[in-house]
Amino acid sequence: MKVLVATKDLAVFDALQGIDGLEYGEALFTGQIYEALPGARLIIVDFDDLVEHPYSVGMLRGILSDSDVPFVSSEEFLSEPDAWLMEARRLGGEATALPTKRTIAFVSYSGGVGKTVIAMDTAAHFARRSELPVCLLEFTYGESAFGALIGSEVPALFELATQPDVDPFVWNGVTLVPMDYDNSRDLSIQLLGKYLKDVMREHVLTVIDAHWPHALIGAVRDEIDRWYVVCTPRPDAVDNAEKLAAELGAKAAILLNQKGGMVDSLAMQGVERAVELAVEKDADRWSGKLGKKVLLHTYGQGTWGQYEPTGFLTNLRRRFSRSKD
């Protein structure tokens, strides 16, 4: 049985010594605790001792509260160590691997390639399947696309960054930070970066929808783990995507959207791409058909595949959906 110890109280370590069948790991960074959560049966944690990297303590506390793993302070544990260890053994079971912290950005030199819909579908699908915190940031010029697509006016970046009492709008489990460029450009990169990085620390996945190039994306550029350069099979869009992917370097990969039949396959011969998405007539219903493929590429089948229903239940849902149509 694995116990995770996240406290500076040495008496806890003494209490765990010499117990058969028990091993313990040490962690004081919030990210270490998050990553060790699936394998732990009990977490002994003093939140005041933790180092907030890369998550905030508040975000981690929320994750622990929603998990099935019991957690307890060092003082509570030391008052009844045998009882807590017995409870941990009783509740022990198979755990699902948690997605690691990631920041992914969808960019393009070409317009009309569907990157905003892909970004929103990816974020919504992550929230629906994992029930973990996810945020969606926007870097645009002019009006925000988020409000138009969800049919609602939501607080934008300038208001959020300058008024601490204003909270972001949550859409389908996704924290939205749309950009109002005319106002946001008056913010310093330092203030902008501080606010956005504070938001990102509260979420496991950050999805960015960005016009490229953009004057303000330098505020978070160093945080981005993967650039998805979006194109359609249009020759100009493909050429632009190859150029942009080369400019962005090793973290960039081409995402082909709206792929049709044989003609599109022939047009894409010799073009290296990481993800292919078929034409979806109802993409703005946020069914997750687009987001699923992106998340499988981002996290891999071994991790994200655990969050996707398979086999009999999937077929049953498809039959039920067809019967309603």
Residues 6+ apart with CB under 8 A from 163: none
Q: What is the mean pLDDT of each run of 10 residues along the chain (325 residues)?
A: 97 95 95 94 97 97 93 97 91 77 98 97 98 98 90 93 96 97 95 97 98 97 98 94 97 94 75 93 90 97 90 45 43
Tokens of 215: 């004057």
φ, ψ of residue 92 to 5 degrees: the values are -60, 145
pTM above threshold 0.95: no
Q: Do the domains at 2-91 and 102-304 have one common CATH topology?
A: yes
List the chain domain ranges: 2-91, 102-304
Alpha helices in the chain (DSSP H): 10-16, 30-36, 57-66, 74-79, 81-91, 115-130, 145-150, 157-162, 181-184, 189-201, 235-248, 262-267, 289-299, 301-304, 312-324
Q: 78 and 56 in contact (C-beta within 8 Å)?
A: no
Rounded Cα distance, 59 and 55, in Å: 7
Looking at residue 93, what is its pLDDT? 60
At the topology level, CATH places domain 2-91 in Rossmann fold (3.40.50)
* Tokens, residue 282: 């109802």
Cβ–Cβ < 8 Å for 139, 214: yes
pLDDT of residue 95: 66
Q: What's the CA gap between 147 and 311, in Å, rounded?
A: 37
* pLDDT reported for residue 153: 86
> Which of 41, 24, 92, 114 minimizes the C-alpha distance to 294?
114
Q: Please say whether the structural domain 102-304 has been given the CATH code 3.30.70.260.
A: no
Distance CA 230, CA 275 (A): 9
